[in-house]
Amino acid sequence: MHFSDILISWYSKYKRELPWRNTISPYHVWLSEIILQQTRVAQGLSYYNTFVKSYPGIEDLANDSEDNVLKLWQGLGYYSRARNLHATAKIVSSEFNGVFPATYDEIIKLKGVGAYTAAAISSFCYGEKKAVVDGNVYRVLSRYFGISTPIDSSIGKKEFQELAQECLSSENPGEHNQAIMEFGALQCTPNPNCETCPLQTSCIAYANSAVKAFPVKAKKIQVRDRYFNFIVIGDNDSFYIQKRVSKDIWQNLYQFPLQESEKEIISPLELEESLVNKSVFLKVSEQYKHVLSHQRIYAKFWEFHVGELPSLNGCKKIKKSDIAEFAIPRLIEKYLESIKN
Ligand code: SF4
């Protein structure tokens, strides 16, 4: 049997039943693909169901506010996905009359949609012959064909894209694409189960006892340390929050007023006067460590009391009990959970 036939046959036996696999609606497939970028299926599933329930059609998503979309996205991370999702829904609504574009070339022009997502939507929904290449596909192809070109180099990206396209089933490109990704997610995983693999007899990495050597990466991820000092300033009922407007992590989410520092701050006297003006220092939280793909955030929450809240630039005074209405990063959510107990 051919590589593609083996994958499709394996897929028909072992695939997971997932709601976006029972539809060829490009809106639903797009939603699932954006949610599943950088997210595990187990975590993404409940978000997918919530989004479909809240926004049954793309117009419903387009007509809601970005704040509400971010709120639904809260906890999933990589918030630019939610902002792009909303922006794209608006574009489809205004420029395509609410009808999702039907070809790879049109889909790839949408905001937040790269080659992978455009290939997934156009092949799953319209049977277009476009191969998907995601992390799972890199792993399967590099091992099976024994290719050691780094997957994070431009030459490697081109080589794997061409190979994936050559391997693609011309009769059933959508099923093939789903099959190879599922195969990478369940069978040819970082710790694969080669003994039960239907591709084992022709797998080059297996034949050379070099499975773990693939895929090859050229660069190590550079991780940056950042120190966040959140100023929790308020009276008995209220505190201040502010929207993160700059192009940085968590853009357009809400947080407490923030002072970022070069290194850990250990005394409230090191905080900026303008942020804590005439307020009484109460206490500081333990240090929270929050790890993202390229950053390690070390955060402290400095609590201050003021009888009457001063006006702080760009800040919004809200009732503490109303914080649930705002989209906040998981780090802030963790702190709020800890002070509830
Ligand atoms: S034999 Fe192992 S490494 Fe090769 S394709 Fe199968 S699971 Fe992947």
286 CB neighbour count, 10 Å cutoff = 10
Q: Where are the domains of the chain?
A: 3-213, 224-340
What superfamily does domain 3-213 belong to in CATH?
Hypothetical protein; domain 2 (1.10.340.30)
- The arithmetic mean of pLDDT across residues 70-97, rounded, is 95
- Kindly tell me if the per-residue pLDDT of 310 is higher than 70: no
Best mutation site among 188, 196, 201 for ligand 1 pocket (most ligand atoms within 8 Å of CB): 188
CA distances to 17, 18, 22, 124, 296 from 30, in Å = 18, 14, 14, 10, 30
* Cα 114 to Cα 96: distance, rounded to the nearest angstrom: 19
Distance from the alpha carbon of residue 189 to the mean position of ligand 1, in angstroms: 8
pLDDT, residue 219, reads 82
Is 80 exceeded by the pLDDT of residue 169? yes
Which neighbouring-strand residues pair with 254?
Answer: 243
**255 has which bridge partners?**
242
313-334 per-position pLDDT tens digit: 678 889 999 999 999 999 999 9
| Alpha helix (H) residue ranges in 39-134 | 41-54, 58-63, 66-73, 80-95, 104-107, 115-126
186 in ligand 1 pocket by Cβ < 6 Å?
Answer: no
Is 33 considered catalytic here?
Answer: yes
* Closest ligand 1 atom, residue 139 Cα: 8
- Count each helix (H run) and each strand (E run) in the chain, helices first: 14, 8
Query: Measured in whole angstroms, how far is the alpha carbon of residue 127 from the centre of its chain?
Result: 26
pLDDT exceeds cutoff 90 at 275: no
Using CB atoms within 10 A of its CB, is residue 335 exposed (0-12), middle (13-18) or buried (19+)?
buried
Does 224-340 match 3-213 at the fold level? no
User: Ligand 1 in contact with 205 (CB < 6 A)?
Assistant: yes
Residue 255 has pLDDT above 90, yes or no: yes
- Over residues 182-209, the pLDDT tens digits come to 999 999 999 998 999 999 999 999 999 9
261 Cβ below 6 A of ligand 1: no
Average pLDDT value for residue range 69-89: 95
At the top level of CATH, which class does the domain 224-340 belong to? alpha beta
Tell me the three state secondary structure of residue 161.
helix
pLDDT of residue 341: 65
